[in-house]
Structures are given as C-alpha cells and as structure tokens.
Amino acid sequence: MDNEALQQWVEQVSLQSFGRPFLHKATFNSRLKATGGRYFMKSHHIEISPHQLMAFGREETEKIIKHELCHYHLHLMKRGYRHRDADFKNLLAHVGGSRYCGTLPERAARKAAPYRYKLVCVKCGMEYMRKRKLDPSKYACGKCRGKLKIIMLDNNPG
C-alpha cells in the first residue's frame, strides 16, 4: 500500500465513522516503531506506521487510523483531544478505535531478551540488572551514591 491509497483510506474512514471529511495529509512513516501513528497539531497531518499494517493487518491499522482521527476531529472542533480527556475517550469508544497498538514482533523479542549485565555497588552491594552495556563511571548507586562496577553474566552470547 502506498501513501495515495492510505490517503483515500483515511478519508473514507473519516467520512464513515465520523461523518466529517479529512482535509489534510495522511502518510506512512517507516520510522514509527513504538507507536502506531501520530497526529500533528500544527499541520493537522497524520502519520501511520507501515510496520503495524504488515504485522497486524488492515483491521488493527484501521483502529489506529480511527485513534488518530479522534485527535484530528476533536482538535479542529476545539474539544478535548488529549488521551486523558473525556471527549477523546468517549469518541474513541464510539467509533471503535484502539487505545493502544500492538507491540511489533521484533520489539517484543528484544524486550524479552535476558539480562546480559549486572551493575553492583562497591559500597552497599546493591545490584542493578541491565540488558545493554553502559559506562558505570557515569552513574552512581541509587541507594547510597556509591561507585558501580559492571559484571558480564554467563548467558551473554558474545
């Protein structure tokens, strides 16, 4: 699917679900990985993650489009368009949009990866588990402000 097809899709969903036209630009943004889409308040444009479409299909992506259109229409009507606003929550439930998008499989795999490093405070012995390597000289113990030393764990593949 290209940006033209997405534009038509968003315009169609806007008319069907909201009864209002979408008069701005909708595009795919392949850099969006942690979020399904975003709405820009200054330009009123919408970006959608193509990764969500590939991973979860048209049905879930349409829910993301409805979510972004809730921001769009409420903002233009000068009503509560933020996630915490009652107007937003009510409209989202009414049109059947999603509150959250699914986690992409490659991000889920990274999240489930085992801890590879342990930081140990040399003063009080407090331990901090980490998946990524970091420079312990830039940090201090959160409990006693002591120095930290890094230990690589055995399950480290490299």
Domain ranges of the chain: 3-107, 113-152
Which residue in 59, 68, 106, 127 is the catalytic one? 68
Q: What is the mean pLDDT of residues 121-129?
A: 95
The CA angle 27-32-33, to the nearest 5 degrees, is: 145
> How does pLDDT run across 89-122, given as a tens digit for each residue?
999 999 999 999 888 888 877 777 788 999 999 9
> How does pLDDT run across 13-43, given as a tens digit for each residue?
999 999 999 999 999 999 999 899 999 999 9
106 is catalytic: no
For the domain made up of 3-107, give the CATH fold: Zincin-like (3.30.2010)
Q: What is the mean pLDDT of residues 44-69?
A: 96
Q: pLDDT at residue 157 above 80?
A: no
> How does pLDDT run across 142-155, given as a tens digit for each residue?
999 999 999 998 76
CA distance 51 to 11: 21
Nearest to 34 by CA among 3, 11, 55: 55
Amino acid identity of residue 37, one-letter, is G
Name the region of 96 (left: φ>0; alpha: ψ -120 to 50; beta: rest): left
Specify the 3-state DSSP secondary structure of 9.
Answer: helix
Q: What is the pTM of this model?
A: 0.73
